[in-house]
Amino acid sequence: MNPSAATRRPPLIRCREVRKSFNGVEVLRGVCLDVARGEVVCIIGPSGSGKSTLLRCINGLARIDGGSIHVDGLDVHDPATDRLALRRKVGMVFQQYNLFPHKTVLKNIMMAPLHVLREPRAEVEARARALIAKVRLQGKEDAYPGELSGGQQQRVAIARSLAMRPEVMLFDEVTAALDPETVSEVLVTIRELAAEGMTCVLVTHEMGFAREVADHVYFTDAGLIVEHAPAADFFNRPHDPRTQAFLAKVL
């Protein structure tokens, strides 16, 4: 994406001074982050630095204790905000896939549009089948999640989120639980999404992938954004010693 084009419009996601504690331990200590429409943002950093918590705050799965988060103008943590309107805008894919094990692949993808959006069945089914083709799982429509590999399940989870036609997709370490040989098939799917202009926020440990697909990279440590920069700058010329130490370890 062209960063200068992105900055002209208000950001799709705007986090300001976000604070969040669990049992008195502050895991987010004033995080600011902007994601422009169509941008791909990667959040990297050591485990326990608050990356996943930040994602969960962005779609309202976790409450924040201070600051503000806006998604396309909606104040995520204002109790008056329409939950459903928010969920429609933000899709989320989890590390553990969290597919519904009692439903087939097709039903997993159709459920939310049918029951949450109450869209006509024929339309939803057509969309679900198209999404199954998009994540290259034709022929698996009637399989149950337990019959699929981790990579296949994760692609179903991506399709399930896309079925709600979100404006931004959050990926929470989606390849961390996968066998190495299935990681690439999931990354291919995400790469295609990004290429189509889907706004994506990824928490990831795949540095090579982050470098290749991200427009902008944020580095978190101990609940703070230590450094953020366009991907090329971030990986080639990290400024902060903590970023340098982390990159030296993982690259």
Residue 142 near residue 134, CB atoms below 8 Å? no
In the chain, where does DSSP find H-type helix?
Answer: 3-8, 51-58, 83-89, 105-115, 121-134, 150-162, 180-195, 207-213, 231-236, 241-250
Residue 201 near residue 190, CB atoms below 8 Å? no
Q: Note whether 1 binds another protein by CB under 8 A.
A: no
Q: Note whether 157 binds another protein by CB under 8 A.
A: yes
CB 146 to another protein: min, Å: 3
At 158, the amino acid letter reads: I
Piece of the chain touching another protein by CB under 8 A; list 37-45, 111-119, 177-185, 232-240: 111-119
Q: Note whether 165 binds another protein by CB under 8 A.
A: no
Among 20, 51, 160, 228, binds another protein (CB under 8 A): 160
CA angle 210, 216, 218 (to 5 degrees): 80
Q: Note whether 176 binds another protein by CB under 8 A.
A: no
Q: Note whether 61 binds another protein by CB under 8 A.
A: yes
How far is it, in rounded angstroms, from Cα 16 to Cα 19?
Answer: 9
Q: Note whether 59 binds another protein by CB under 8 A.
A: yes
How far is it, in rounded angstroms, from Cα 19 to Cα 21?
Answer: 7
Contacts of 16 (CB under 8 A, 6+ apart): 32, 67, 68, 69
Q: Note whether 74 binds another protein by CB under 8 A.
A: no
Binding mask 118-147 for another protein (x = CB under 8 A): --------------------------xxxx
Phi, psi of 226 (to 5 degrees): -80, -40
SS (H, E, C) 130-170: HHHHHCCCCCCCCCCHHHCCHHHHHHHHHHHHHCCCCCEEE
CB 171 to another protein: min, Å: 12
Q: Note whether 88 binds another protein by CB under 8 A.
A: yes
Q: For another protein, which is the closer residue by CB, 97 or 234? A: 97
CA angle 149, 155, 159 (to 5 degrees): 140
Q: Note whether 40 binds another protein by CB under 8 A.
A: no
Q: For another protein, which is the closer residue by CB, 145 or 151? A: 145
Size of the site for another protein (CB under 8 A): 29
Q: For another protein, which is the closer residue by CB, 50 or 238? A: 50
Q: Note whether 116 binds another protein by CB under 8 A.
A: yes
**Interaction site with another protein (CB under 8 A):** 59, 61, 83-84, 87-88, 90-92, 94, 96, 98-102, 111-112, 115-117, 144-147, 157, 160-161, 164
